[in-house]
């Protein structure tokens, strides 16, 4: 059964826009889990534009589901996720100044680096997920570097979906099939929404986890956080 991990980056974006503690990010993490989220995802970027390192430490004791921490695997990032014993570290190839995550790893070019960082995380007992494009070479390379899972970068799917759903999903089905053959777990995320999530799950029912933030938090402005999480869960577990 696919798990829903709610990314609360954008709660922190709103909080940081005024300073102070409103909306309270820790309360959001607690309530998302109370409303049915099966994980909390955060992406503490180096510039702390939204989630701060302090948020990560504050949230950890209140995790009753799973804590997925995303980021570029710098020494600081690895120290953070091992210090707090995250359940999963999702490694993304983001440059510090990127607007958002917009591509997966070249797991062939960065093989040695990824072998090193994954080895350090595994030694700390942390599950590793590698952010990849729906590219068979990237998936194969993720297996070769020893990752436990891949996370399929789903922005291209979300963009194409309204135009041609079958064309949009095709490379993701192929990548997921290969990942499964290689005994990789399969996560997915970025720009997933109430519009495109059910089709993704219907076509690839063996996805382990979707992490969803931007669209979900935007939907919550109109539907409320509790109803929104229930609507996303309905897409996954009808």
Ligand X SMILES: NCC(=O)COP(=O)(O)O
Ligand Y SMILES: CC(=O)[C@@H](O)[C@H](O)COP(=O)(O)O
> 19 is written with which tokens?
């300073």
Minimum CB–partner distance for residue 1 and ligand Y (Å): 21
Binding residues for 3-amino-2-oxopropyl phosphate: 7, 18, 191, 213-214
Helix (H) or strand (E) holding 85: none
* Active-site residue (options: 38, 43, 66, 209): 43
C-alpha dihedral, 177 to 232 to 214 to 199, nearest 10°: 40
Q: Which residues pair with 41 in a beta bridge?
A: 7, 68
Query: Active site includes 190?
Result: yes
Place of tokens 């309360």: 27
E-state strands within 97-217: 127-132, 149-153, 185-189, 209-212
Q: Helices 225-236 and 214-223 sit at what angle, rounded to 10 degrees? A: 130
* Residue 228 near which of ligand Y, ligand X, none (CB within 5-8 Å, type-dependent): none
Q: Does 133 bind ligand X (CB under 6 A)?
A: no
Tell whether residue 92 is a contact of ligand Y (CB under 6 A).
yes
**189 contacts ligand Y (rule: CB under 6 A):** yes
Residue 43 annotated to the active site: yes
Binder of ligand X out of 39, 189, 201, 209 (CB under 6 A)? 189
For ligand X, the binding residues in 34-73 under the rule CB under 6 A are 41, 70
Binding site for ligand X (CB under 6 A): 7, 41, 70, 151, 189-192, 211-215
């Amino acid at each position: 059964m696919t798990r829903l991990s709610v990314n609360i980056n954008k709660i922190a974006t709103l909080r940081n826009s005024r300073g102070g503690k409103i909306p309270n990010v820790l309360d959001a993490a607690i309530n998302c889990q109370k409303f049915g989220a099966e994980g909390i995802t955060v992406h503490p970027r180096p510039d702390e534009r939204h989630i701060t390192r302090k948020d990560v430490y504050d949230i950890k004791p209140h995790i009753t589901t799973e804590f997925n921490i995303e980021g570029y695997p710098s020494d600081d990032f690895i120290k953070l996720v091992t210090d707090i014993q995250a359940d999963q570290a999702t490694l993304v190839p983001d440059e510090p100044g990127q607007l958002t995550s917009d591509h997966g790893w070249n797991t062939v070019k960065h093989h040695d680096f990824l072998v090193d960082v994954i080895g350090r995380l595994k030694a700390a007992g942390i599950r590793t997920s590698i952010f990849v494009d729906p590219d068979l070479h990237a998936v194969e390379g993720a297996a070769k570097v020893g990752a436990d899972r891949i996370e399929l970068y789903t922005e291209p799917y979300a963009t194409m979906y309204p135009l041609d759903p079958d064309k949009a999903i095709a490379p993701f089905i192929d990548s997921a099939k290969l990942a499964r053959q290689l005994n990789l777990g399969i996560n997915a995320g970025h720009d997933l929404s109430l519009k495109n999530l059910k089709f993704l799950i219907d076509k690839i029912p063996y996805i382990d986890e979707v992490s969803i933030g931007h669209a979900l938090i935007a939907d919550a402005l109109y539907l409320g956080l509790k109803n929104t999480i229930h609507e996303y869960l309905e897409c996954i577990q009808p």
